[in-house]
Amino acid sequence: MKMKLGTMAVAAVMAASPVMADLVFPSLSYRTGPYAAGGIPFADGYADYMTLLNERDGGIGGVATRILECETGYNTEKGVECYEATKGEGSLVYQPLSTGITYQLIPKATADDIPVHSMGYGRTSAKNGNVFSHVFNYPANYWDGASGAINYLLEANGGDISGKKIALVYHNSAYGKEPIRTLQNLAEKHGFELMEVAVDHPGQEQKSQWLQIRRERPDNVLMWGWGVMNQVAIQEAANIRYPMENFIGIWWSGSENDVLPAGDAANGYKALTFHGVGDDFPVFDDIQKYVVDAGKAAGAGDQVGTVLYNRGLYAAMLAAEAAKKAQEIHGVADITAGMMRDGMEALDITEAKMAELGLPNFGPEFAVSCENHGGNALVGVTQWDASAGTWSLISDFKATDGDVIGPLIEEDSASYASENGIDPNCG
């Protein structure tokens, strides 16, 4: 069952709704606005997986799932409104799908004993469960992404990138600024020059930025973009004949939406990832049978297997597995948000588990603990083949630089703890 609710009307609609015995998974979606092309497939994947569990398995532990969708338009204020309007419905875990919204929800959700899963985005130092008791960002975070990109370039250059110039083209927001400190530290460690190039929201005008890149000729370009910014950047890179194989985006800059508008010129573009690509996994046969063909898909069914649909499905799978773990820990099927938090903190995703779920080799193995809410920090690289119209995983999921990232997480989380009167303590 899925409900789509406008922000202003959500409270009134829910007040008139009967109380239902189900597991509620709010979806802070954005099907409208400048980032809708990315928000729609993610929301569809998230909803469709929960529908699959209902139709095929009878829910989770015998309890039906319910998606409670609220439109944010990728607007932080609306996202907070959605949270306040839905938290009383038995909501188990929030997926804000926005770094700005995540930052605002961290203190609110913690006080309300509701977990937040900012998968691959949000406040990176939330990996420290000693400080951020209710926030999880497994299986990887933005600082892992920065390190993963540099590690990939190190491998491609025989372990030496000293003297090279690497540009970061970033969305001029909290999201886009997340990797800067990490890249600065990595530049100091490996001897490369970091060139920072900001792009203002929404990113439709980038002429000056790419003229700067043409003038300064960096050896590689990294991108922290979202929505139309990605499309424009890839087209502008093609316009100045920047080599696509030297252009690497973060996982939010690596979907079909980003490359298709540039046509053949996007061939060879690369993007980081923390999950698999394509629809060659058994779970998609079940999605087709129980959801799409049954007329129960959240959308038109045309996004199945795309990068962002897969990411939404992956987020839903992790939420469902955490709910199962919570049911196991507490011995009840109808869990609360506080119990869900415990399940998330005890989550252990193995290859055997992924294979059992119809997602063999779909993502890296990882385990969560009280001290580590971010998983094992493994990052892969994908590449776009314009002629085939497909993404391919061109590297294994590999470890990132904990020697650089660990101290940054400790420093930032300690600062947050001090500012907010938190006594870092697990257990």
Residues 134 and 156 placed together within one structural domain of the fold:
no
Per-residue pLDDT 10s for the chain (427 aa) are 444 454 333 333 333 343 446 999 999 999 998 899 999 999 999 999 999 999 999 999 999 999 999 999 999 999 999 999 999 999 999 999 999 999 999 999 999 999 999 999 999 999 999 999 999 999 999 999 999 999 999 999 999 999 999 999 999 998 999 999 999 999 999 999 999 999 999 999 999 999 999 999 999 999 999 999 999 999 999 999 999 999 999 999 999 999 999 999 999 999 999 999 999 999 999 999 999 999 999 998 999 999 999 999 999 999 999 999 999 999 999 999 999 999 999 999 999 999 999 999 999 999 999 999 999 999 999 999 999 999 999 999 999 999 999 999 999 999 999 999 999 987 6
pLDDT value at residue 176: 93
- Asked which of 250, 273, 296 is the last residue of a domain, the reply is 273
Give the residue from 223, 248, 273 where a domain finishes. Answer: 273
Closest CA to 351 of 367, 340, 365: 365
Determine, yes or no, domain membership for 383.
no
The answer on 220 and 302 residing in a single domain is no
Whether 196 and 124 map to the same domain: the answer is no
Indicate whether 151 and 255 sit together in one domain.
yes
Q: What angle do CA 315, 320, 323 make, to 5 degrees?
A: 130
CATH of the domain at 218: 3.40.50.2300
347, 325 Cβ separation under 8 angstroms: yes
Residue 24 lies in a domain: yes
Chain CA centroid to CA 233, Å: 21
Q: Are residues 120 and 150 in the same domain?
A: no
Model pTM? Answer: 0.93
Q: Looking at 229, 255, 273, which one is the last position of a domain?
A: 273
Closest CA to 224 of 204, 252, 245: 252
Q: Which residues contact 321 (CB under 8 A, 6 or more apart)?
A: 347, 349, 353, 357
d(CA 413, CA 406): 11
* Bond from prior residue into 115 cis (ω within 30 degrees of 0): no
Give CA–CA dist 9/24, Å, rounded: 18
Same domain, 67 and 187: no
- In this structure, the answer to whether residues 93 and 157 fall within a common structural domain is no
Residue 382 forms part of a structural domain: no
302 in any annotated domain: yes
Quick one: 87 and 235 in the same domain? no
Domain of 74 in residue numbering reads as 16-140+278-377+408-420
Residue 224, in any domain of the structure: yes
Angstrom distances, CA of residue 345 to CA of 129, 325, 341, 342: 9, 9, 6, 5
Cα separation of 394 and 391, whole Å? 9
Domain membership flag for residue 193 = yes
